[in-house]
Amino acid sequence: MVTSLVIAPVDVPESRRHKKRIGGITIPTWIGVGLLALCALLGLVVLLAPAFRNLWTAQDLRATFLPPLSSGHPFGTDNLGRDLMWRTLAGLGVSVAVGLGVAFLAVTLGLMVGIVGGYFGRAADVTSNIVIDVTWAFPAILLAVVFAGWLGPGLLTVVLALALTEWAGFSRIIRGEVLSLRERDYVSAARVLGRNKVAISLRHFVPNLLPVTLVLAVYFVAGAIVAEAGLSFLGIGAQPPTPSLGSTLAQGRDYLTRTWWPVILAGGVLTLTVLLLNSVSDQLREHFDPRIGRRR
């Protein structure tokens, strides 16, 4: 009694199916993964190195609302005269760091519960299904808002709220995969050889689940980045002075009658990042199995 489809399929366009490949994976995947790693590094710098903080927090009230291409400020400045290029970059870094954090937590939790539910007997399956369904009942964004009431607003709240809800959908897919994996001959063979279930899970299930996991993890990163920006937009995510694309958007909205640039820049960077991640996810899926995420 579980809703059958959780993560909706992203259609792999036919035109892309026959693209030339180098070493099995299309080049943009590596570019995408590389960019992602760079952004994550940037995020760590933003969150951990106060030495650089001046770059994106320095205010200059004499130079507010500068348009892009102003001298010293390639992207212009915001309402407090802060450099928009650094703020956008730093915000992107924070977003990606949050996205990776959410994906890591959700994937770890989802893998554990999914494997336990799919392989450790009927009672474990029923229990894990109930846990999944209860979790599933709380929508991520709203749970984050509610969490903010308990933990106070901040990036930690965002990461916890998103990870603690999004693992459920992933877990359901993993359970389905495990149900089919456990019928494989090599699993029965390992069982006959006296290996215990934990060993079999680690040795046979986890490696086989990696493709699905990777594809969906990238999908989670994209989803979490959007959700983080949305929550920061509401004032529940990143708190000043931590830069965030969402907060830049929120400020941009307040001054929309004066200038569009902050909204265009932050919105554009956000959109391009999601576009990049979606295409990486599509390509990974195409590489491994176009039917991933479409359990019927």
Partner 1 sequence: MSYVIKRIGYAILIMFLASLVTFAALRVAPGSAVTSILDPARTPPEVIERYKEELGLNLPIWQQYVNYMANVLRGNFGTSLFDRRPVFDLIADAALYTVVLAFAAFVLAFGLGVPAGVIAALNRGGWFDRVIRWVTSAFMSIPNFVLALLLVAILGVKLRFLPVSGASGPANLILPALVLAADPWSLTTRVTRTAVVEQLGADYTRTLRARGVSRTRINWRHVLRNALTPVVSLGSVQIRTLLGYTLIVEVIFRWPGMGSQLVQAILKRDYPVASALALLLALVVVIASTVGDLLLRAVDPRIRSNQAVIS
Does residue 230 interact with partner 1 by CB under 8 A? Answer: yes
Q: How far apart are CA 140 and CA 136, in angstroms?
A: 9
Q: How far apart are CA 163 and CA 243, in angstroms?
A: 21
Q: Which stretch binds partner 1 (CB under 8 A): 22-30, 195-203, 204-212, 221-229?
A: 221-229
Q: Any idea what the Cα angle at residue 96 is, between residues 45 and 50, rounded to 5°?
A: 20
Tokens representing 128?
Answer: 């894990």
- Our CA dihedral for 167, 268, 39, 22, rounded to 10 degrees, sits at 90
Does residue 229 interact with partner 1 by CB under 8 A? Answer: yes
Does residue 150 interact with partner 1 by CB under 8 A? Answer: yes
Does residue 182 interact with partner 1 by CB under 8 A? Answer: no
Cis peptide before 240 (omega within 30 of 0): no
Does residue 183 interact with partner 1 by CB under 8 A? Answer: no
The one-letter amino acid code at 262 reads P
Does residue 140 interact with partner 1 by CB under 8 A? Answer: yes
> Which member of 31, 41, 58, 134 binds partner 1 (CB under 8 A)?
134
Q: How far apart are CA 72 and CA 58, in angstroms?
A: 13
Does residue 187 interact with partner 1 by CB under 8 A? Answer: no
> Which member of 38, 58, 241, 271 binds partner 1 (CB under 8 A)?
271
217: nearest Cα among 92, 141, 107? 107
> Which member of 42, 105, 274, 292 binds partner 1 (CB under 8 A)?
274
Instruction: Please name the residues in contact with 279: beta carbons below 8 A apart, sequence gap of 6 or more.
Output: 28, 32
> Which member of 66, 212, 224, 226 binds partner 1 (CB under 8 A)?
226
Binding interface with partner 1 (CB under 8 A): 1-6, 8-11, 13-14, 130, 133-134, 136-143, 145-146, 148-150, 152-153, 169, 175-176, 179-180, 226-227, 229-230, 233-236, 249, 252-253, 256-257, 260, 263-264, 266-267, 270-272, 274-275, 278, 294-296
